[in-house]
Chain A
């Protein structure tokens, strides 16, 4: 392994600009003559718009324009769409309601935009926005997904009776019923997967500029996938032809899913910039982010696990109501279906699984993919069931897991997925050693002496990443293919630019992708640069989400590098006057087999461009290759996280006192970056379990609408993490990568709740397990009360 090649903990190329304040995020981009957009948003969860009066607002100082939904519709700007078709069990297609970028006739959640003020400054825009008079007729709202389908519930969209978007199912219901009938033991749980607000620290932003001379629109935005944004805005919203719209996602300050989607604000900024003839910038205030960024999770589930007398799992069934909010966001439909139901087998050999999911509309912010997307929800169901089953039967939770682990691969689950590689025992064993599970009894006694309850919780999770084979996702309803693209440009001096269709917003692609190229071509790491995030520079690509950039994006680079090597060998053959088949390439040098004749990488690159040694009819000059790589399967990262907590009996406060993670991500390109991804994922999962939760009141007001009320994990809420790795390579891509971006967020919630419930001796705790919630649970728990006395 070289100091900068695959497997090396190379320091990141991107850091220098970030630590010196020279990052260029969307709000940092300043265009001449730029104006600011301020949105007028609904204060009601559901209302009819009777009229909008913009006259006073238009007269306010600094106002350039005030635009409404009616004008948007007049200009034939299309609605936002959801790009993944789900069919109900009766075969009917999902009920997608219209989602205009500015509401013209009705609003359906607090924060729904009804008008926009374009002004010289943001402050002037806000002053004017207050003068826009919207006459609303407030209507009853429904907020709770459990009540959305109920009799008498307000009907949000005409197209969706009973607010039901689809009723989807997966698996063999009859076989599952038969298995449950045979069971010696059945564990039943009612679970709520709490609603989360993504809160990337960079708020969403959009800056649109129209050039009337070329009829060209440019959009700088906070996007994880600029090409997909351009495609949707061109082809579905109809803003401009694709070739007349350039989307640039510069430095992006975290995404976690929330910046995948196409949002009203970027559409409106584009439209407005053309209307006012000046650049239009919008940057969300944090309170606006709470009301407009797609939220995550929000499932209500009843789940059951059937076991035989030996603790062998016979079957699992789950019935889930998934809240998709007021409108269907870009990929919302896929999250509680093919990213959820398909993972309900966990790491276990479960013969039969049946899953039903009803997706519903409510008068809340749209819900879509958030770090893990469906897989944290699935893991929470499976890992809570297994843990509780073990406790009910009286088998050690680790032992019950071992008894049911899948041990041979490939393994076809009853819910579509074919796991291709893994060693679940290895990660469990290593995690138990690192976490000193043997010493837990002693530690529990020590805690008890200090008035604390100590508990330990496991989460042996699995995820499907490397999203995903295009044919497979196409057959499941996805509107796009999920391959990835790469272009490798070798310059005449031998330095290399890689144009990738993925996008980095914290993941460090500029570093890891360069490591791959450096190792493969034997050239210095410094001589490689990675280009992403600009549709005018980079060929079409699908972007970054679902832990796909390594498994799919780097595979595309590998394929392009294969072509580069093949072409370079041809050039070298001419230079060295040898047969192409005799040329070997190693450590940045071309040589003729069995001779001492060599050509250095840089010389071959130069010769490819000067083309003096070969005839153009025989070999094309230049050295630049493109590849579109479509994976053959999902990848299946898996591992074991063990959480240890101490609960203060008097206050109910939970402190995480230990965290061990042993993950199998296949091949690791840069362990420093991989560990960083694990740390961040765990923090978000701990946030979900202990701190975070979006709460609406019954009228649809978001009670946790700012960082004063929505608890973000801070440094003192978390311990240092003990992170280890095991490795089984993914057979589904050339590098053997599985992906690491979401693992922590997927694994962590169940580990935390399993630890707290172990500590307090009660399963009756939901997320977030705040101090007051744990204290309340303790009041209902005889064992804990006794310990307190």
Chain B
């Protein structure tokens, strides 16, 4: 089986995988990082969104082997263990931006990517358009939109504000 090496949540990892292994399988099955979820098989739902080299990507639509040398961040890597939460995580909690929690990791990873691309002051229309790649069946999006707006504001001064503090 071919080998693949990448950095996941700041740690160098390697694995022998079948060529057909998707990034999400590598994360969930090889690395046991089960916070990244699979909700569909057509790249629609966004439950599997992670950051690849700092940009949001659907890990169900990427081959692990393609990501040789890449830098991956998953939901588990947003905050230090026992450290403060990432502001976007905290915003989802404060604004009840989740119910069953299944789409949540993908939502949060996508939300941080929206801030990267669109800045810290996001209007409702922008947020709704930019969430196109993420489906939530529980919340009706109302509180997700609020969470993203609040999280974006809280991220002012750097996406990992808490690390500087």
Cβ-based interface call for A181 (8 A)? no
Pair A707/B42 contact, Cβ less than 8 Å: yes
Task: Give, as a whole number of angstroms, the nearest-CB distance from A127 to chain B.
Answer: 10
Other-chain residue from A22, A25, A283, A707 in contact with B102 (beta carbon distance below 8 A): A25
Pair B39/A286 contact, Cβ less than 8 Å: yes
Task: State the 4 A-B residue pairs at the shortest beta-carbon distance, nearest first.
Answer: A21-B35, A253-B102, A18-B101, A683-B140
| Contact segment of B61-69, B92-100, B156-164 | B92-100
Other-chain residue from A24, A254, A721 in contact with B99 (beta carbon distance below 8 A): A254
- Give 5 A-B contacts (CB < 8 Å), ordered by A residue: A21-B75, A286-B40, A507-B99, A682-B140, A718-B140
Other-chain residue from B35, B40, B92 in contact with A23 (beta carbon distance below 8 A): B35
Contact status of A253 and B131, CB under 8 A, knowing A676-B143, A707-B42, A707-B45: no
Which chain B residues in 84-130 approach chain A with CB under 8 Å?
Answer: 85, 89-90, 92-94, 96, 98-105, 108, 124, 127-129
Compute how far the CA of A583 lies from the CA of B36 in the bound complex, rounded to whole angstroms: 53
Which chain B residues in 25-41 approach chain A with CB under 8 Å?
Answer: 28, 32-41
List the A side residues contacting B134 at CB < 8 Å: 714-715
Task: Give, as a whole number of angstroms, the nearest-CB distance from A108 to chain B.
Answer: 24
Contact status of A672 and B45, CB under 8 A, knowing A201-B103, A202-B102, A253-B102: no
Pair B100/A506 contact, Cβ less than 8 Å: yes
Task: Give, as a whole number of angstroms, the nearest-CB distance from A710 to chain B.
Answer: 10
Pair B102/A201 contact, Cβ less than 8 Å: yes
Pair A715/B79 contact, Cβ less than 8 Å: no
Q: 1/0 contact trace for A4-29 toward B, CB 8 Å?
A: 00000001101111111111110110
Pair A25/B128 contact, Cβ less than 8 Å: no
Cβ-based interface call for B57 (8 A)? no
Knowing that A20-B35, A27-B34, A679-B143 are A-B contacts, what are 10 other residue pairs whose CB atoms are under 8 Å apart, sorted by A's residue number?
A19-B90, A21-B74, A30-B32, A253-B37, A253-B101, A506-B101, A679-B141, A681-B140, A706-B41, A714-B135
Compute how far the CA of A347 lies from the CA of B90 in the bound complex, rounded to whole angstroms: 41
Cβ-based interface call for A488 (8 A)? no
Cβ-based interface call for B154 (8 A)? no
| B interface residue count range (under 10 / 10 to 19 / 20 to 34 / 35 or more) | 35 or more
Pair B94/A11 contact, Cβ less than 8 Å: yes
Task: Give, as a whole number of angstroms, the nearest-CB distance from A31 to chain B.
Answer: 13
Compute how far the CA of A617 lies from the CA of B51 in the bound complex, rounded to whole angstroms: 65
Compute how far the CA of A15 lies from the CA of B132 in the bound complex, rounded to whole angstroms: 23
Task: Give, as a whole number of angstroms, the nearest-CB distance from B94 to chain A.
Answer: 6
Compute how far the CA of A720 lies from the CA of B148 in the bound complex, rounded to whole angstroms: 14
Compute how far the CA of A121 lies from the CA of B78 in the bound complex, rounded to whole angstroms: 30
List the A side residues contacting B42 at CB < 8 Å: 286-287, 706-708
Contact status of A23 and B101, CB under 8 A, knowing A12-B93, A679-B139, A679-B143: yes
Contact status of A708 and B129, CB under 8 A, knowing A18-B98, A30-B32, A506-B138: no
Question: What is the interface of chain A, defined by CB distance below 8 A to chain B?
Answer: 11-12, 14-25, 27-28, 30, 123, 199-203, 251-254, 256, 283, 285-287, 505-508, 672-673, 675-676, 679-684, 706-708, 712-716, 718, 720-721, 744
Compute how far the CA of A505 lies from the CA of B99 in the bound complex, rounded to whole angstroms: 8
Task: Give, as a whole number of angstroms, the nearest-CB distance from B110 to chain A.
Answer: 11
Task: Give, as a whole number of angstroms, the nearest-CB distance from A206 to chain B.
Answer: 16
Cβ-based interface call for B18 (8 A)? yes
Compute how far the CA of A397 lies from the CA of B111 in the bound complex, rounded to whole angstroms: 42
Q: Which residue of A lies closest to B88 (CB)?
A: A19
Compute how far the CA of A508 lies from the CA of B96 in the bound complex, rounded to whole angstroms: 10
List the B side residues contacting A14 at CB < 8 Å: 101
Pair B75/A253 contact, Cβ less than 8 Å: no
List the A side residues contacting B37 at CB < 8 Å: 25, 201-202, 253
Pair B101/A251 contact, Cβ less than 8 Å: yes
Compute how far the CA of A680 lies from the CA of B100 in the bound complex, rounded to whole angstroms: 11
List the B side residues contacting A253 at CB < 8 Å: 37, 39, 100-103
Compute how far the CA of A310 lies from the CA of B44 in the bound complex, rounded to whole angstroms: 52
List the A side residues contacting B8 at CB < 8 Å: none
Contact status of A679 and B140, CB under 8 A, knowing A21-B33, A25-B102, A200-B100: yes
List the B side residues contacting A506 at CB < 8 Å: 99-101, 138
Task: Give, as a whole number of angstroms, the nearest-CB distance from A619 to chain B.
Answer: 43
Task: Give, as a whole number of angstroms, the nearest-CB distance from B11 to chain A.
Answer: 15
Task: Give, as a whole number of angstroms, the nearest-CB distance from B118 to chain A.
Answer: 14
Pair A20/B40 contact, Cβ less than 8 Å: no
Contact status of A254 and B143, CB under 8 A, knowing A30-B32, A707-B40: no
Cβ-based interface call for B16 (8 A)? no
Indicate the member of A18, A28, A683 with the most B CB atoms within 10 Å.
Answer: A18
Task: Give, as a whole number of angstroms, the nearest-CB distance from A641 to chain B.
Answer: 13
List the A side residues contacting B132 at CB < 8 Å: 714-716
Contact status of A201 and B35, CB under 8 A, knowing A23-B102, A506-B99, A721-B142: no
Pair B128/A715 contact, Cβ less than 8 Å: yes
Contact status of A19 and B92, CB under 8 A, knowing A201-B135, A253-B100, A716-B128: yes
List the B side residues contacting A505 at CB < 8 Å: 100
Cβ-based interface call for B152 (8 A)? no
Task: Give, as a whole number of angstroms, the nearest-CB distance from B145 to chain A.
Answer: 6
